[in-house]
Amino acid sequence: MKVQNKVIIVTGGGSGMGREIVLNLLSKGAKVIAIDINEMALQETAAIAKNKKDSLCTFVVDITNKAAVEMLSYDVLKGLGAVDGIINNAGIIQPFIKVNDLSSEVIERVINVNFYGTLNMVKAFLPHLLTRPEAHIVNISSMGGFLPVPGQTIYGASKAAVKLLTEGLNSELMGTKIKVTAVFPGAVGTNIMKNSGVDNPMQTASGSREMKFLSPAKAAKIIIDGMESDRCRVLVGKDAKIMDFFYRLAPRSAANLIGKKMSVLMEKK
């Protein structure tokens, strides 16, 4: 679905990759509704949009709150009349520790934001999207959603749930005018760690080689290009592409490789 003149909702639009997705959509002539829990971050996104901000609406919403998301859908449709697509980008990671050391509160928060937040948005807007001449749902999973990453096991589980939710939707919506895309970013240089309240293990791993991160702007372009090409699966970054191939070819070897790298980082925290 080409995004020009379409109304697209983006969750997590206040910062990082979500902000860049918003800006990319605006540059292509879309009208964008940016959702975030952080009002100040949304204001910053609007300020950066500059002359495009007339095509941008912002809403402060906690996507884990089902009632709030349902009210959002009511307000958006009442105010704008129609929505053509949603990009479920909002997400958080967990502390870089093992499942045994994670509190139930942290586990529930990660699953609530990443999975239930995405599901709440889909459930709230899908009935309307089915009435549109064409529509699109994009759900952001993660490289961690198809490859086990020790120290991010609950995060990975939540993103694996997003993966299967998206793939299931794609199958269920065959024959309709809705296209569905699952996105698997690798390492992208966002502030997800800060927003998640998590320390960066790379900062405490002395002597470790600095990771190379894809810029959020480049990631956003790949995602929107995939959406406009109606691709059902989008890998973002060379690392995601390489590990996707490696994990399919030799899952145990790929898992062992990532396991060894993560064990070193966690030991040096």
> How does pLDDT run across 77-115, given as a tens digit for each residue?
999 999 999 999 999 999 999 999 999 999 999 999 999
What is the bridge-based pairing of β-strands 85-88 and 135-140? Answer: parallel
Residue 245 located in a structural domain:
no
Q: Is-catalytic flag, 116? A: no
Residue 220 located in a structural domain:
yes
Residue type, 113: V
- The yes-or-no verdict on residue 241 having pLDDT over 60 is yes
Q: Which of 34-38, 75-79, 192-196, 232-236 has the lowest mean pLDDT?
A: 192-196
Give this prediction's pTM. Answer: 0.91
Residue 111 located in a structural domain:
yes
How much is the pLDDT for 201?
A: 52
Residue 157 located in a structural domain:
yes
Average pLDDT value for the chain:
92
User: Alpha carbon of 109 to those of 126, 227, 240: distances in Å?
Assistant: 24, 28, 25
Residue 258 located in a structural domain:
no
Residue 2 located in a structural domain:
no
Q: Which of 105, 70, 82 is nearest to 33 (CA)?
A: 82
Which listed residue (74, 116, 155, 247) is catalytic?
155
How much is the pLDDT for 193?
A: 52
Q: Which of 8, 125, 1 is nearest to 72 (CA)?
A: 125
Residue 206 located in a structural domain:
no
Strand partners, 85: 8, 136
Residue 253 located in a structural domain:
no
Residue type, 143: M
> How does pLDDT run across 104-145, given as a tens digit for each residue?
999 999 999 999 999 999 999 999 999 999 999 999 999 999
Q: Which of 49, 46, 153, 166 is nearest to 118 (CA)?
A: 166
> How does pLDDT run across 174-225, given as a tens digit for each residue?
999 999 999 999 999 766 555 545 555 544 443 444 567 899 999 999 999 9
Domain that holds residue 139: 7-199+213-238
Strand, helix or coil at 76? helix
How much is the pLDDT for 51?
A: 87
- The yes-or-no verdict on residue 6 having pLDDT over 90 is yes
> How does pLDDT run across 157-178, given as a tens digit for each residue?
999 999 999 999 999 999 999 9
Rounded distance between C-alpha atoms, residue 165 and residue 141, angstroms: 10
What percentage of the chain reaches a pLDDT higher than 90?
86
Take residue 125 and report the two structure tokens written for it.
């807007």
- Reported as a pLDDT band with limits 50, 70 and 90, residue 53 is confident
Strand partners, 178: 135
Rounded distance between C-alpha atoms, residue 139 and residue 142, angstroms: 10
What CATH number did the domain enclosing 228 receive? 3.40.50.720
Number of domains in the chain: 1
Rounded distance between C-alpha atoms, residue 162 and residue 185, angstroms: 13
Take residue 213 and report the two structure tokens written for it.
């991160």
